[in-house]
Amino acid sequence: MSTRARGRAADEIRPVTITTNYTRHAEGSVLVEFGHTKVLCTATVETGVPRFLKGKGQGWVTAEYGMLPRSTHSRMQREAAKGKQGGRTMEIQRLIARSLRAAVDLKALGEHTITVDCDVIQADGGTRTAAITGACVALANALQWMREKGVIAANPLKTLVAAVSVGIVDGLAVTDLEYTEDAAAETDMNVVMTAEGKMIEVQGTAEGEPFSHEELLAMLALARQSIDELVEHQRRAIAG
Amino acid sequence: MSTRARGRAADEIRPVTITTNYTRHAEGSVLVEFGHTKVLCTATVETGVPRFLKGKGQGWVTAEYGMLPRSTHSRMQREAAKGKQGGRTMEIQRLIARSLRAAVDLKALGEHTITVDCDVIQADGGTRTAAITGACVALANALQWMREKGVIAANPLKTLVAAVSVGIVDGLAVTDLEYTEDAAAETDMNVVMTAEGKMIEVQGTAEGEPFSHEELLAMLALARQSIDELVEHQRRAIAG
Amino acid sequence: MSTRARGRAADEIRPVTITTNYTRHAEGSVLVEFGHTKVLCTATVETGVPRFLKGKGQGWVTAEYGMLPRSTHSRMQREAAKGKQGGRTMEIQRLIARSLRAAVDLKALGEHTITVDCDVIQADGGTRTAAITGACVALANALQWMREKGVIAANPLKTLVAAVSVGIVDGLAVTDLEYTEDAAAETDMNVVMTAEGKMIEVQGTAEGEPFSHEELLAMLALARQSIDELVEHQRRAIAG
Amino acid sequence: MSTRARGRAADEIRPVTITTNYTRHAEGSVLVEFGHTKVLCTATVETGVPRFLKGKGQGWVTAEYGMLPRSTHSRMQREAAKGKQGGRTMEIQRLIARSLRAAVDLKALGEHTITVDCDVIQADGGTRTAAITGACVALANALQWMREKGVIAANPLKTLVAAVSVGIVDGLAVTDLEYTEDAAAETDMNVVMTAEGKMIEVQGTAEGEPFSHEELLAMLALARQSIDELVEHQRRAIAG
Amino acid sequence: MSTRARGRAADEIRPVTITTNYTRHAEGSVLVEFGHTKVLCTATVETGVPRFLKGKGQGWVTAEYGMLPRSTHSRMQREAAKGKQGGRTMEIQRLIARSLRAAVDLKALGEHTITVDCDVIQADGGTRTAAITGACVALANALQWMREKGVIAANPLKTLVAAVSVGIVDGLAVTDLEYTEDAAAETDMNVVMTAEGKMIEVQGTAEGEPFSHEELLAMLALARQSIDELVEHQRRAIAG
Amino acid sequence: MSTRARGRAADEIRPVTITTNYTRHAEGSVLVEFGHTKVLCTATVETGVPRFLKGKGQGWVTAEYGMLPRSTHSRMQREAAKGKQGGRTMEIQRLIARSLRAAVDLKALGEHTITVDCDVIQADGGTRTAAITGACVALANALQWMREKGVIAANPLKTLVAAVSVGIVDGLAVTDLEYTEDAAAETDMNVVMTAEGKMIEVQGTAEGEPFSHEELLAMLALARQSIDELVEHQRRAIAG
Summarize pLDDT for B30-68 with one digit per residue, the tens. 999 999 999 999 999 999 999 999 999 999 999 999 999
B51 annotated as a binding-site residue: no
**pLDDT in the model for residue A6:** 83
Q: Is pLDDT at A2 greater than 60 in this prediction?
A: no
pLDDT in tens, A24-33: 999 999 999 9
Which candidate from F94, F194, F212 shows the least CB-CB separation from A210? F194
Kindly report, residue by residue over C110-163, the tens digit of the pLDDT.
999 999 999 999 999 999 999 999 999 999 999 999 999 999 999 999 999 999
- Interatomic CA distance for residues D198 and D190, integer angstroms: 14
User: Do the beta carbons of residue B6 and residue A32 sit within 8 Å?
Assistant: no
Tell me, yes or no, if B19 comes closer than 8 A to chain A by beta carbon: no
With beta carbons under 8 A apart, name residues in chain A contacting B64.
Answer: 69, 78, 81
pLDDT score recorded for residue B2: 52
Residue A65 lies in a domain: yes
Do E123 and F114 contact (CB within 8 A), yes or no?
no
Best mutation target, F74, F199, F212, F224, to test chain A (most A CBs within 10 A): F199
Does A125 reach chain B within 8 Å, measured CB to CB? no
In this prediction, residues F70-95 reach a mean pLDDT of 95
Q: What is the largest CA-CA distance in chain A?
A: 58
Give per-residue burial for E200-229: e unless 16+ CB within 10 Å, then b. Answer: bbbbbbbbeebbeeebbebbbebbbbbbeb
Q: Is residue D164 part of a domain?
A: yes
CB A171 within 8 A of CB A191: no
Q: Looking at residue B22, what is its pLDDT?
A: 98
**pLDDT for A1 beyond 70:** no
CA separation for the pair C178, C191 (Å, rounded): 15
- Which of E74, E88, E90, E132 is most worth mutating to test chain D (most D CB atoms within 10 A of its CB)? E90
Distance CA B222, CA B224 (A): 5
For chain A, counts of helices (H) and of strands (E): 6, 9
Name the pairing type of β-strands A161-169 and A112-122.
unpaired
Instruction: State the Cα–Cα distance between residues D202 and D220, nearest whole angstrom.
Output: 9
Instruction: Tell me what the mean pLDDT of segment D59-66 comes to.
Output: 98
Q: How far is CA E181 from CA E3, E13, E169, in A?
A: 11, 13, 7
What whole-number distance in Å separates Cα of residue A152 and Cα of residue A146? Answer: 6
C-beta pairs of B184-190 under 8 Å, 24+ apart in sequence? B184/B1, B186/B211, B187/B211, B187/B215, B187/B219, B189/B165, B189/B216, B189/B219, B189/B220, B189/B223, B189/C202, B190/B95, B190/B128, B190/B129, B190/B163, B190/B164, B190/B165
Question: In this model, does residue B208 exceed pLDDT 80?
Answer: no
Closest by alpha carbon to D137, among D37, D4, D19? D19
Mean pLDDT value across chain D: 96
Q: How many CA atoms lie within 13 A of A110 on its CB side?
A: 12
Q: Chain D, 208-227: which have a CB under 8 Å from a chain E CB?
A: 209-213, 216, 220
Torsion of CA E215, E220, E225, E230, to 10 degrees: 130
Distance of CA D11 to CAs D176, D189, D190, D236, Å?
8, 14, 15, 21
Question: Residue D15: its pLDDT value, please?
Answer: 98
CA angle F156, F162, F167 (to 5 degrees): 155
- Are residues B195 and B188 in contact, defined by beta-carbon separation less than 8 angstroms? no
CA atoms within 13 A on the CB side of B160: 24
Residue C1 has pLDDT above 50, yes or no: no
To the nearest 10°, the Cα dihedral for D70, D73, D77, D78?
-30
Within F51-201, residue ranges assigned H as helices are: 79-82, 87-101, 106-109, 127-148, 179-184
Contacts of F20 (CB under 8 A, 6+ apart): F28, F29, F30, F137, F141, F237, F238, F240
In DSSP terms, B60 is beta-bridged to B113
User: H-helix or E-strand containing D135?
Assistant: helix D127-148
Instruction: Give the Cβ contact number of residue E55 at 10 Å.
Output: 7
> Whole-angstrom Cα distance, residue F205 to residue A238?
26
Q: Considering CB atoms only, which of C84, C86, C216 is closest to B199?
A: C216
Whole-angstrom distance between the N-terminal and C-terminal Cα of chain E? 38
Mean pLDDT of all residues in F119-145: 98
User: Which residues of chain A have a CB within 8 Å of the CB of F98?
Assistant: 205
Helix, strand or coil, per DSSP, at residue C14: coil
Q: Which of helix, strand or coil describes residue B87? A: helix
Average pLDDT over chain C reads 96
| pLDDT tens string A72-109 | 999 999 999 999 999 999 999 999 999 999 999 999 99
SS3 A209: coil
DSSP D198: -
B89-137 per-position pLDDT tens digit: 999 999 999 999 999 999 999 999 999 999 999 999 999 999 999 999 9
Phi, psi of E53 (to 5 degrees): -110, 0
What are the C-alpha distances in Å from F21 to residues D61, F129, F213?
41, 20, 42
Residue D207 confidence (pLDDT): 82
The mean pLDDT of chain B is 96
Chain mean position to CA A105: 19
Confidence at residue D120, expressed as pLDDT on a 0 to 100 scale: 98
Residue-wise pLDDT for D208-234, tens only, equals 789 999 999 999 999 999 999 999 999
Chain D / chain E CB contacts < 8 angstroms:
86
Do C198 and B211 lie within an 8 Å CB cutoff?
yes
Instruction: For chain B, give the longest Cα–Cα distance.
Output: 57
**Closest chain F residue to the Cα of A106, Cα to Cα:** F208
Answer yes or no: are the C-beta atoms of A59 and A106 closer than 8 Å. Answer: yes
H helix runs in chain A, sequence order: 79-82, 87-101, 106-109, 127-148, 179-184, 213-239
Residue D58 Cα, gap to closest chain C Cα (Å): 21
Number of domains in chain F: 1
Domain-located, residue E142: yes
> What crossing angle do the helices spanning A127-148 and A87-101 adopt, rounded to 10°?
40
- Band of residue E8 on the pLDDT scale cut at 50, 70, 90: very high
Q: Among residues of chain D, what percentage have pLDDT more than 70?
A: 99
Per-position DSSP letters for F77-113, written without gaps between them: PPHHHHTS--HHHHHHHHHHHHHHHTTB-HHHH-SEE
User: C126 labelled as ligand-binding?
Assistant: yes
Q: What is the ipTM of this complex?
A: 0.95
Q: Is residue C198 part of a domain?
A: yes
Distance from CA of D7 to the nearest CA of E (A): 30
What average pLDDT is seen over chain A?
96
Contact (CB, 8 A) for F222 and F228: no
In this complex, the residue of A102, A202, A209 whose CB is nearest that of residue F216 is A202
Chain E: partners with 3+ C-beta pairs within 8 Å: D, F
Say if A40 falls within a structural domain: yes
Alpha carbon F32 to its chain's center: 9
Assign C112 to helix, strand or coil. Answer: strand
Provide, for chain F, the percentages of residues in helix, strand and coil under a 3-state DSSP scheme, each rounded to the nearest 5: 35, 30, 35
* Inside any domain, residue D8: no
- pLDDT, one tens digit per residue, over E135-185 is 999 999 999 999 999 999 999 999 999 999 999 999 999 999 999 999 999
Asked if C121 and D40 count as a contact pair (C-beta separation under 8 A), the reply is yes
Q: How far apart are CA E92 and CA E192, in angstroms?
A: 13
Measure Cα distances from F121 to A22, F87, F92 in Å. Answer: 49, 20, 16
Q: CA of C212, closest CA in chain D: separation in Å?
A: 36
Reported confidence tier of residue E73, pLDDT bands at 50, 70, 90: very high
Reference D12, options D182, D230, D213, D217; nearest CA is D230
Of F90, F209, F220, the CB nearest to A90: F90
Whole-angstrom distance, CA of residue A165 vs CA of residue A175: 6
Q: How much is the pLDDT for E1?
A: 45
Interatomic CA distance for residues D135 and D20, integer angstroms? 11
Cβ-Cβ contacts under 8 Å for F115 (sequence gap 6 or more)? E69, E75, F43, F44, F46, F61, F62, F63, F64
A78 and B66 within 8 Å at the Cβ level: the answer is yes
Q: Specify the 3-state DSSP secondary structure of A133.
A: helix
List the Cα angle D160/D166/D167 in 5-degree steps. Answer: 165
Question: Quick one: pLDDT at residue B5?
Answer: 83
Q: What is the pLDDT of residues C60-110, one digit of tens each?
A: 999 999 999 999 999 999 999 999 999 999 999 999 999 999 999 999 999
Q: Does D103 have pLDDT greater than 90?
A: yes
**Is residue A1 in a domain?**
no
A3 is in an annotated binding site: no
Q: Known binder of ligand: residue C236? A: no
- For position D2, what pLDDT does the model report? 52
Task: Supply the CATH number for residue D120's domain.
Answer: 3.30.230.70
Q: Which residues pair with B206 in a beta bridge?
A: B187
Chain B CB within 8 Å of residue C64 CB: no
**Residue A74: predicted pLDDT:** 96
Examine the pLDDT at F157 and tell me if it is beyond 60: yes
One-letter amino acid for residue D31 of the chain: L
- What is the span of the domain harbouring residue D142? 16-239
Q: For chain A, which chains pass the contact test of at least 3 CB pairs under 8 Å?
A: B, F
- Residue D188 domain-assigned (yes or no): yes
Tell me if the pTM is above 0.95.
no
